[in-house]
Amino acid sequence: MQPAPLVSLAPRVRRLRLGKPARRFLQNRLAVVGAALLLVFSLLALFAPWISPYDPTQVFFTDLRSPPSAAHLFGTDELGRDILSRVLYGARVSLSAALVSVVGAFVVGTMLGLMAGYLRGWIDEVIMRVVDAMLALPFLVLAIALAAMLGPSLQNTMIAIAIVTTPAFARITRGEVLAQREREYVQAAQALGASDPRLVFRHLLPNISGALIVQTSLAIAAAVLAESSLSFLGLGVQPPAPSWGSMLNAARGFLADAPWMSIFPGLAIFLTVLAFNLVGDGLREAIDPRSR
């Protein structure tokens, strides 16, 4: 059996921080509303096949562009498809695309940031030059160009969003690592003979997790926006699969006589992004009270 380490001089982040920030977060009404919204949206997306009244691609020829009614709560679109069902299924596309791309960006970006900040030297130089260059390119312009190069599809949208989201994670992680590595607990762990991976993953990573959690929720908000922007331009999910952005794009032509076609998918994007931003904002205030 491995003997347990005698002392860990890392600040007791987990115990100390979980109590107070959690309470601060729960006292923030806007943040709690955001979290509740997120929970509802996730459940709706998860159970879409059971909740949605119709198949999202089912066509009702007799109900083209009909306004909201008891049969179709959100109305129907230009091909007579039920908008409520399409919004529910669209939630699966938007949320999963955003989650997958941000998880990818998180893993790659954090690894790059840890390497740059911990190893320093030429590795740091190379990584940070590329990160700076990517941050100089406008987020959406780069995402559009990448999606165009890779070809329009949901998978390529996710790759494009993951690529443009990565540098922010790398930069934040590096900054935090640089600030932490001079702290005494790191030196103490080093003196005790902790290996590099142990030092990085057991000591540094938990201590910078606060900043990363905040960045993750804000990045998901940005990713939902980016995914819907790309599919609005026709670069994302291809029809007939429903996505909020492409629904809005199709609805544009019928704005005068079928505004509901625009309003419901638009509201869905807005509320989802708002929920992630509210939670991100609440987390930042809870973890770093000075930011208020």
Interface positions with another protein (CB under 8 A) = 30, 129-130, 132-134, 136-142, 144-151, 221, 225, 228-229, 232-235, 245, 248, 251-252, 255-256, 259, 262, 266, 269-270, 273-274, 276-278, 281, 291-292
Residue 222: partners with Cβ closer than 8 Å, 6 or more residues away = 139, 165
Residues 204, 180 contacting (CB under 8 angstroms): yes
Q: How far is the CB of 229 from another protein (least distance, A)?
A: 6
Residue closest to 227 by CA, chosen among 161, 150, 165, 280: 161
Residue 59: partners with Cβ closer than 8 Å, 6 or more residues away = 79, 80, 81
Residue 55, classed as helix, strand or coil, is coil
Residue closest to 239 by CA, chosen among 53, 61, 57, 55: 57
The residue (of 199 and 218) whose beta carbon lies closer to another protein is 218
The residue (of 13 and 130) whose beta carbon lies closer to another protein is 130
Q: In DSSP terms, which residues pair with 227 in a beta bridge? A: none
First to last CA, the chain: 47
Q: How far is the CB of 20 from another protein (least distance, A)?
A: 19
The residue (of 186 and 258) whose beta carbon lies closer to another protein is 258
Q: How far apart are CA 125 and CA 110, in angstroms?
A: 16
The residue (of 105 and 235) whose beta carbon lies closer to another protein is 235
The residue (of 49 and 138) whose beta carbon lies closer to another protein is 138
Q: How far is the CB of 62 from another protein (least distance, A)?
A: 26
Burial of 2 by CB count in 10 Å (0-12 exposed, 13-18 middle, 19+ buried)? exposed
Alpha helices in 120-204 (DSSP H): 121-136, 139-150, 154-181, 184-191, 196-198
The residue (of 68 and 259) whose beta carbon lies closer to another protein is 259
Q: How far is the CB of 37 from another protein (least distance, A)?
A: 11
Q: How far is the CB of 120 from another protein (least distance, A)?
A: 17
Q: How far is the CB of 291 from another protein (least distance, A)?
A: 7
Residue 6: partners with Cβ closer than 8 Å, 6 or more residues away = none
